């Protein structure tokens, strides 16, 4: 891996003559899929990922690290990179280059640098230096920062790697000359921004948030959690969660925007592009010396599917990464069919029931093959089964026993009994119960699965949280609490406990020692 300060380049794959010949031979076979992909894949991308909805980072961006209304734990990110007007065109060209043949002139677009000898670039940096001064003096005029006095320890600069050597030196020199030695103070939050260039030409805008003193350890000893974001999300929405998870787990949380989203470059065309982005983040850590067993992937909704698919591919390479799947689904077809079946009348005599079943048949007979050809089948269920039980965990919103009849029973987006990943776990568990009752012996893996109490993974919306007509699916994990239990455990802390268990072998309490588990999570405060 090539490495510059803050910029990492993973090696490009090289094709042999025989690989190229096989590619040509397979063209007639691949052609139907290419046609469907060209016509539909990007449309499906916009439905599943919704990249245009993702929040764009502002030049001066305020981030709250807690829910405190007084803002004592705010930080400000100053983004040195302007977003060029031709970004969409560049993203399409990068996709074309990585799919068909490389366009050499795109190298400058991929590694775009601001230059000291460019008057516009220098003026842009001068403006940001001025804005940083306003922040430190409490005179900022940018949206949420108005009236806020931001200490130097809370100002983080992103995009240093995109300045050439002369402009970088000028930037730091001007800061010290204009604002003094305070600019050198250590930051209160351990954040690193970096750029990762994947083997297929995507350029991923990335962030690493570390627990205190975590980055002083040897890479082989450090723990990492890579977060695969959900539908319509940018990592600026998740920095608070990254910070909380990093501190509670004692690790570094890596977030990134998928290719094409906000400042990341390239284009998501199929699920493989998103999976490759996640795997590229793992490859960077491995190249830096991290151990695969010290790396975890987590994701919510479509991010959970991507994390699961990426983890399975890594396990196929004998890289034993960990996984946490949050509120996710088994496959695209299951998700669509579940949406049709949701709240269906139980009577077979109802015309609505027959209409729904007809739509389910249409999903599987017509839509599923098209989705598969377009490269968006997201078969996370098969991937889940490839990962050993000890290396994975999950959570779901399931509130069937709540005393409040008006409380939502499921997450409202993913139909639970048919579509959710939890339903797959339920089916597997039921088959193991039958196997045991028939007197058949269980493997150690099956014994572990059967011993895992499902209730440990079931959550509900905190009764103290006002839903305000929102679906539970979109509620932050810190507002979801363990269902059917008096244990004050939130979904965010369930994820923390899962990774601590897998990284540090500090077991999550079983049902036989629930009182101890209650005490162990009492000091884990919601963010």
399 and 316: one domain? no
Separation of alpha carbons 15 and 467, rounded Å = 53
84 and 164: one domain? yes
Q: Which of 323, 349, 375 finishes a domain?
A: 323
Cα dihedral 373, 375, 376, 379, rounded to 10, equals: 90
Has residue 361 been placed in a domain? no
304 and 433: one domain? no
CATH of the domain at 125: 3.40.50
Separation of alpha carbons 87 and 461, rounded Å = 40
**Residue 32: per-residue pLDDT:** 76
pTM for this model (two decimals)? 0.90
Place of tokens 């970004």: 87
291 and 427: one domain? no
Has residue 370 been placed in a domain? no
403 and 318: one domain? no
Give the phi and the psi of residue 16 in degrees, each rounded to 5.
-80, 170
315 and 452: one domain? no
Q: Which of 299, 323, 347 finishes a domain?
A: 323
**Ranges of H-type helices in 152-301:** 165-179, 239-249, 271-288
The three-state secondary structure class of 7 is strand
Has residue 517 been placed in a domain? yes
Tokens (6 digits) for 322: 């960990």
| Long-range Cβ contact pairs of 120-126 (< 8 A, separation 24 or more) | 121/167, 122/167, 122/170, 124/82, 125/80, 125/163, 125/167, 125/170, 125/171, 126/174
Separation of alpha carbons 527 and 510, rounded Å = 25
pLDDT tens digit at each of 527 positions of the chain: 877 789 999 998 877 777 777 877 877 877 777 777 778 888 899 989 998 888 889 888 888 888 775 666 788 999 999 888 888 888 888 888 877 667 777 787 888 889 999 999 999 999 999 988 888 887 777 767 776 777 888 899 999 999 999 999 999 999 999 988 788 888 889 999 999 999 998 999 999 999 999 989 999 999 999 999 999 999 998 999 999 999 999 999 999 999 999 999 999 999 999 999 999 999 999 999 999 999 999 999 999 999 999 999 999 999 999 999 999 999 999 999 888 876 655 566 677 777 877 888 888 888 899 899 889 999 999 999 999 999 999 999 998 777 777 788 889 999 998 999 999 999 999 999 999 999 999 999 999 999 999 999 999 999 888 888 889 999 999 999 999 888 889 999 999 999 999 999 754 433 333 333 333 333 333 23
Has residue 475 been placed in a domain? yes
**Residue 497: per-residue pLDDT:** 96
Has residue 378 been placed in a domain? no
Domain that holds residue 486: 388-522
- Quick: pLDDT tens for 275-322: 999 999 999 999 999 999 999 999 999 999 999 999 999 999 999 999
Q: Give the count of domains, the chain.
A: 2
**Residue 286: per-residue pLDDT:** 98
- Report how far Cα 270 is from the mean position of its chain's Cα atoms: 16
Has residue 47 been placed in a domain? yes
Burial class of residue 286 (count of CB atoms within 10 Å of its CB; 0-12, 13-18, 19+)? middle
Separation of alpha carbons 112 and 299, rounded Å = 30
Has residue 527 been placed in a domain? no
76 in Cβ contact with 67 (< 8 Å): no
Q: Which of 510, 493, 96, 50 is nearest to 258 (CA)?
A: 50
77 and 171: one domain? yes
210 in Cβ contact with 246 (< 8 Å): yes
Residue 72 to residues 64, 65, 150, 337, 526: CA-CA distances in angstroms?
9, 9, 10, 46, 16
**Residue 346: per-residue pLDDT:** 59
**Residue 343: per-residue pLDDT:** 61
The DSSP line for 286-334 is HHHT--GGGEEEEEETHHHHHHHHHHHHHHHTT---EEEEES-BS-HHH
């Amino acid at each position: 891996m090539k490495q510059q300060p803050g910029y990492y380049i993973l090696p490009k794959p090289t094709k042999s003559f025989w690989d190229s010949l096989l590619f040509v031979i397979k063209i007639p076979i691949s052609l139907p899929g290419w046609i469907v992909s060209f016509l539909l894949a990007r449309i499906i991308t916009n439905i599943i990922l919704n990249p245009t909805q993702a929040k764009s980072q502002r030049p001066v961006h305020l981030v709250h690290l807690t829910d405190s209304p007084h803002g004592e734990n705010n930080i400000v990110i100053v983004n040195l990179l302007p977003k060029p007007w031709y970004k969409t065109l560049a993203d399409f060209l990068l996709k074309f280059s990585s799919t068909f043949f490389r366009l050499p002139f795109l190298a400058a677009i991929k590694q775009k640098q601001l230059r000291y000898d460019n008057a516009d670039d220098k003026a842009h940096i001068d403006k940001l230096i001025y804005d940083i001064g306003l922040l430190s003096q409490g005179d900022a005029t940018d949206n949420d920062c108005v009236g806020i006095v931001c200490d130097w320890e809370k100002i983080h600069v992103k995009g240093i790697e995109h300045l050439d050597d002369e402009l970088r030196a000028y930037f730091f020199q001007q800061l010290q000359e204009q604002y003094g030695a305070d600019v050198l103070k250590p930051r209160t939050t351990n954040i690193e921004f970096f750029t990762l260039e994947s083997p297929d030409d995507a350029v991923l805008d990335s962030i690493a948030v570390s627990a205190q003193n975590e980055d002083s350890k040897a890479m082989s000893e450090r723990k990492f959690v890579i977060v695969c974001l959900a539908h319509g999300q940018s990592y600026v929405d998740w920095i608070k969660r990254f910070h909380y998870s990093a501190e509670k787990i004692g690790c570094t949380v890596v977030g990134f925007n998928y290719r094409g989203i906000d400042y990341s470059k390239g284009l998501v065309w199929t699920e493989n592009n998103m999976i490759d982005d996640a795997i590229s983040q793992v490859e960077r850590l491995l190249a830096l010396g991290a151990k695969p067993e010290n790396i975890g992937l987590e994701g919510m909704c479509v991010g959970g599917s991507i994390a699961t698919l990426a983890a399975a591919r890594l396990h196929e390479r004998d890289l034993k990464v960990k996984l946490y799947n949050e509120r996710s689904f088994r496959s695209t077809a299951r998700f669509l069919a579940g949406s049709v079946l949701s709240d269906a009348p139980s009577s077979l005599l109802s015309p609505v029931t027959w209409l729904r079943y007809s739509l389910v048949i249409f999903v599987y007979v017509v839509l599923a093959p098209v989705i598969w050809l377009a490269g968006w089948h997201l078969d996370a269920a098969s991937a889940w089964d490839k990962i050993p039980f000890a290396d994975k965990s999950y959570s779901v919103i399931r509130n069937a026993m709540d005393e409040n009849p008006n409380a939502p029973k499921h997450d409202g987006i993913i139909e639970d009994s048919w579509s959710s990943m939890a339903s797959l776990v339920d089916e597997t568990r039921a088959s193991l119960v039958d196997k045991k009752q028939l007197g058949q012996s269980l493997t150690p893996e099956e014994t572990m699965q059967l011993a895992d109490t499902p209730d440990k993974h079931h959550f509900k919306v905190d009764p103290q949280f006002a839903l305000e007509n929102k679906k539970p699916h979109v509620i932050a994990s810190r507002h979801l609490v363990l269902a059917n239990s008096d244990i004050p455990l939130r979904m965010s802390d369930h994820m923390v406990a899962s990774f601590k268990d897998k990284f540090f072998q500090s077991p999550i309490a079983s049902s036989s020692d629930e009182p101890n588990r209650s005490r162990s999570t009492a000091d884990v405060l919601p963010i």
